[in-house]
């Protein structure tokens, strides 16, 4: 079973995988199916990792960002024929940087406390 630390690492790694290709910009994202599928896959990983965070973790790190990521993952998985690419891009540019920053901050504090 993966603990919260490993799930935070999963979140950070998946976001970095998304950044690797979406940093090329919206036009490349729109024109390249492989980049879109890559991005969607890693967004699902982010959501799964957030879903797996323990209740204790969520209680000590209250933020809607965890449940937002899970909710978006559910939309991606269950509405795969009707995915709104504009919404996906907005998540990539608006939400992922904050989620990554939050996960890194928590990891850093945990390492300092150890």
**Residue 24 appears among annotated catalytic residues:** no
Closest CA to 45 of 80, 78, 9: 9
**Residue 41 appears among annotated catalytic residues:** no
Which long-range contacts link 29-36 to residues 24+ away (Cβ below 8 Å)?
A: 29/85, 29/89, 29/92, 30/85, 36/85, 36/88
Q: Are 57 and 4 in contact (CB under 8 A)?
A: yes
Rounded to 10°, the helix 96-113/4-22 angle is: 140
Active-site residue identified among 7, 36, 42, 73: 73
Q: Are 85 and 30 in contact (CB under 8 A)?
A: yes
Active-site residue identified among 5, 58, 78, 101: 78
The catalytic residue positions are 73, 78
């Amino acid at each position: 079973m993966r603990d919260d630390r490993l799930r935070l690492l999963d979140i950070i790694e998946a976001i970095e995988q998304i950044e690797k290709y979406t940093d090329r910009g919206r036009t490349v994202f729109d024109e390249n199916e492989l980049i879109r599928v890559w991005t969607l896959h890693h967004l699902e990983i982010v959501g799964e990792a957030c879903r797996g965070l323990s209740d204790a973790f969520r209680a000590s790190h209250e933020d809607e960002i965890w449940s937002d990521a899970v909710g978006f993952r559910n939309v991606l998985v269950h509405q795969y024929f009707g995915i709104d690419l504009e919404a996906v891009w907005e998540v990539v540019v608006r939400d992922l940087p904050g989620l990554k920053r939050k996960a890194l901050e928590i990891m850093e504090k945990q390492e300092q406390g150890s």
